Structure formats: C-alpha cells, structure tokens
Chain A
Amino acid sequence: MSFKAPDDLLPRPAKVSRRGFVGGLSAGVLGAVATEAAGAETLADIPDRGPGADLGAHSERSRFVKIDRIPEATPGKRNVDPGDAINSKTPHQKLVGNITPTDLHYERSHSGVPDIDPAQHRLLVHGMVRKPLVFSVDDLKRMPSVTRVVFIECTGNGWENWKKADPDITVQNTHGLVSTNEWTGVPLKFLIDLVGKDKGSNWMLAEGGDGAGVDRSIPLTDEIVNEAFVAYGQNGEPLRPAHGFPMRLVMPGFEGNLNIKWLRRLKFGNAPWMTRWETARYTQLLANGKARQFQLRMETNSVITQPSGMMQIQPGYNRISGLAWSGHGAIAKVEISTDGASTWKQAQLSQPVLSKAQVRFQMDWVWDGKPTKIVSRSTDDQGNVQPDRQSFIAAMGTNALFHYNAQQTWSIDEAGRVRNVLA
C-alpha cells in the first residue's frame, strides 16, 4: 500500500484475522489501541505486569498517545512557528466523548497570550450604572456561581472550505476551531444587579486585558442576560492562560469572539460601539458586496470525526462517530448519509444532550468497499437544520469567511482513503 499516514493517526493494517468487534475497528482513536492488541498473536505475547512509575503531582498522557493542536497562521498555513500563529486547532479526529480536554481546547487570540498575575487583575464594571464597581478575582469567587458545559466556537471555524476543498486535510483543519468545556463563574445578571444597571442600557461593551484590548458590543437580550457569565473556572480548575486566565466572559451559543478573554471591563451603554471586531472583522461579506453584521449566534452544525479526512478504512464494519452543536439550543437529531446525501439514517446521540454544548453521535455502518461519500446533518430543538453546501453557498456566497456551517462531506475511494470534498 502506498498510502502515507500524516502522523500516528492511522493504525497499521491488521495482520491477524479479525475476531469479532475489536479487530474490526479500523481507524482512528480506538483503532490505534486496537491495533496494539491485534498485533499480539496470543495473550502469551502480552508483556508481564510489574511495578510502574512513581506517582506524580499531576498526570501526563501516555507516551503512546500523540495528540496535539495545530497552530495555524491563516487558512492553509499550518504548523507554523507559534509566534506566527493566530489560532490553534482541536484534534477532533483523536478525541472521544463530548468534552474537549482542557489543553486541547481550541485557541484564537489577537495579541498572544498575556501572562496575568491574578492578584493584579481587576474587572471594572461601569457606564450606565448606579454605582461603578471594581472586582478582584477573589471577589468573583465569593459570589454565587453557575457551572455549565458549553461549546465555544471561533466565528471562522470551517474557513478552509469556503472556496475549495483541500483533499489532504483532516477534520482538525476543517473544524478544529470549536470545543466544549465545563465553565464556572458568576452570572452576568448578578453583576448587573450589584452595579445597578440603568434600565435604559441595553448594550454592553466587554473588553479584554490583552494587547489588542479586544472589545465587543453585546446586546442585553433576556437570553444573554440570563445565560452569560464571567468564568474563572474551566473543567474544574482555574482558566488556562490561553483561555482567558484569570477571568473571561462566557456567552453560550454566541461567536467565540464575544466570549472576551482576560476580561477587564464591562461598560453599559445604549448602542453598539462599532468596534473593529464587529465591523472590519466578524462580518460576513455576501456575493452582492454587502456585509452581514451582528450575526452573533453560532449556527446548527455537525461533522463526522470518525472516519474523517486522511484516515483509511477497511471494508466491513465501521463505526461512524462525530460531533454536533447549535448556538440555538440542544441538538434534537443528527442524520448520517453514507451514499452522498441520497438517503439518511438517524444516528444515536451520547447523553447528556445539553443546550449549546457539543454532543457526540454515532452509527453502525458496513462499508461494501465501493467509493462513496459520507456526510452528517444536524437539527436542533428550535427546528434549525444544518444546510447542505449548495444552498448554504447560494445564500452566503464564497467570500463570507465567517459563520460556515454547511454539511461536511468526506469522500471514500476504493482503497478506503477518506478525503475532504465540497459535496
């Protein structure tokens, strides 16, 4: 076989006859493990047990697991020097379950990752309020808290496939700018009550303490006032610096850029500020030359992660698995087509299915060895259906750059090679 694996993603072709379920797993996360077992002719070949390594202050990944994000400079410019990277993508093709490991949560920053001493960080809340206040991190930790599992998605997620499909990229490249973590913090509503927001204020500016001072205007709709929170916890520990340490805004369901990291100021006003980030950026240029603005919500989306780009599958039993999410609410169903969007079957969803969080879906599939295309489409509990690429491009053109949520198609050739295609 001349096929070359991009990294350790692909298992070596199994040499032993397939016995039942485990041997039949052909690619990806579980495949990498299964191959180790399949390579042993009998249990007698498995190494003996013995005392292990010393216990540590924190645990590292196995030396057999290679799993990393990919720093990227611009669409298609990958594995760049970290100094040139503007984002770093989550390796969905190597992950299982619904939650993204903290250190693999995608990252998008506009002026690097500031090194903030929490003792010297303050949050100023002011503007149209009765009493402007300054809070420390400890102040926030003393307040009533909420904990919620939500996805955060960069508005540019999917930007690889606007104009063409590079056949040699992975799902990490196409969809690596979305992740799901559990976040803990103070409800925005609590802070609003503390400062005594003026009833006439219905927009809020949130600003970060990074070099770019990234700032966004946020409309204070009932949904946002009830759901937004200032987080200091991420998967049970303090935020990682890349994700906003010591505090960030979490806006469930909304553009990643609105989830202001290193949050240091909330200002209440009565109109949007028209910052660079809501005019020159994060607006969608349509085919007619006009740009869609304040498209703040992330849409219904899904992608098959297993098998996905650059994997290779074997005829016979395959398990299809992937992730679905929607900024409108919870995923109601995910359908999968294994015949290029001609017929669809409903996939199983892994519990719990949470509002505005990613959920894993899966389905059994027996591949007959003939070239085909596989694709998923999600529907959320508000009735929004993930669009096929043709209708999506007809509505948005190919210059929008942000808010790509068209169905992702993977082609599979006669050798089982999985490749990125437009449809």
Chain B
Amino acid sequence: MSLLEKLLFTGLFAVGLLAAPARAFDFGRPATPEEIKLWDIDVGPDGKGLPDGSGTVARGKQVFSDNCAACHGENGQGGIKDRLAGGQGTLASSMPVKTVGSFWPYATTLFDYIHRAMPYPTPGSLSTDETYAVTAYILSLNGIVSADGKVDRESLPKIRMPNRDGFIPQPEFDPARLFRKK
C-alpha cells in the first residue's frame, strides 16, 4: 500500500466512523402519518387532538350505567372507585372532596382520560361518540352541562370548569414563565 493509498484509506475510514452514528436510519425507522394517527390520542386543554363526533348527556347516562356505574356509583358517587361528582366548596375544609366538578381544571382532560384509560378492564373500548356522551353526563352530574346538553370538539374546550383557577404552579416549573425569552 502506497502512502497515498494509506492516507486515502485512513481518510475514508475516519469519514465512515464519523458519519455512521449521525444517520438516523441507523436507529429505528421513519414513522408513517397513518401509524402515528393510531397512537396520537392526547388532547390538550385548547382542544387540540379532540376527534370529530359528539355525545349527549342523555346518551351518556346510558353509557355510564352500562360501563362506569359498577365502580363509580350510579350518579358518580358512592362507588368503590373515585367519586366523580359533588364536593364543590369543600377544598378548603378539613375533609376536601376532590371530584371532576370540584377539582378538575379542564373538561378536555376528562375526555382524554376516559378515552385512554376507561373503562378500567377494557380501556379504549368506548367509541368516540360514547366517550363524548359519558363526558357530557359526568359534567352534567356536576351541574356544568345542562341535562339536555351535548359536547363535541368545539364546545368541550370552551367549558370553564369551576376550579379552573384553583391551581398555583410551582414557580420553578410554571408553564407561563418557564421558557419565556429573557
């Protein structure tokens, strides 16, 4: 091997070493838009991520009775699992009752959580419309949506929850201040 060949070889080898770890396709594979859609279920407080569809309180009462009441009680109270209704006005007492109505700051969180995690034995088994309906029903149990009401992707983010202003961010991680440009 001539000196030139040696230099060339070494140079190519070095380039190869440098290039290899920087190539993304060496690790994993591109995600397609179609498959991302399957998993991209999160819903933000601005309603981003909410799917098309809608649900009424009336329909939600039936869905709730069929899928939720066994654990949460017929009216979202008195069940073996989390109480979902009532408790407003108790947060500053010695026995606070934290429910969707008394504590949760965003209605969008309710849709997101039911959609991803409920019913406990079969998460994700409710249709989009059923999820909207049961969301509407739980909000109606708390007097936030009227008994003849319905919710959809437009109305849900606009609902102002009773405890919307009940949260104080820890200054170190306050979203309103954390990444503000100095």
Contact = CB atoms under 8 A, between A and B. Distances in A.
A292 B168 contact: yes
A273 B42 CA distance: 8
B175 interface: yes
Contact of A194 (B24, B45, B98, B100): B24
A154 to B, nearest CB: 18
Interface string A203-237: 10101000111010001010000000000000000
A198 to B, nearest CB: 13
Contacts of A211: 117, 120, 123
Report, as a range, how many residues of chain B touch the other chain: 35 or more
Q: Which of A135, A275, A287 counts the most chain B CB atoms within 10 A?
A: A275
Interface stretch (A59-67, A136-144, A330-338): A136-144
Interface stretch (A168-176, A264-272, A415-423): A264-272
A268 to B, nearest CB: 12
A69 interface: no
Given A219-B178, A291-B166, A267 B40 contact: yes
Contacts of A143: 27
B116 interface: yes
Contacts of A139: 27-28
Contact of A274 (B27, B98, B106): B106
B44 interface: yes
B167 A271 contact: no
Interface residues of A, number: 56
A143 B27 CA distance: 8
Contacts of A294: 169-170, 173-175
B124 to A, nearest CB: 8
A269 B109 CA distance: 17
B80 to A, nearest CB: 10
Nearest to A214: B117
Interface of A: 110-111, 124-126, 131-136, 139, 142-144, 194-196, 202-203, 205, 207, 211-213, 215, 219, 221, 264-265, 267, 269, 271-276, 279-280, 283, 285-297, 398-399
Q: Which 6 A-B pairs have the closest CB atoms?
A: A289-B92, A289-B91, A213-B116, A135-B28, A132-B31, A294-B173
6 contacts: A111-B123, A124-B31, A133-B30, A280-B109, A285-B91, A287-B92
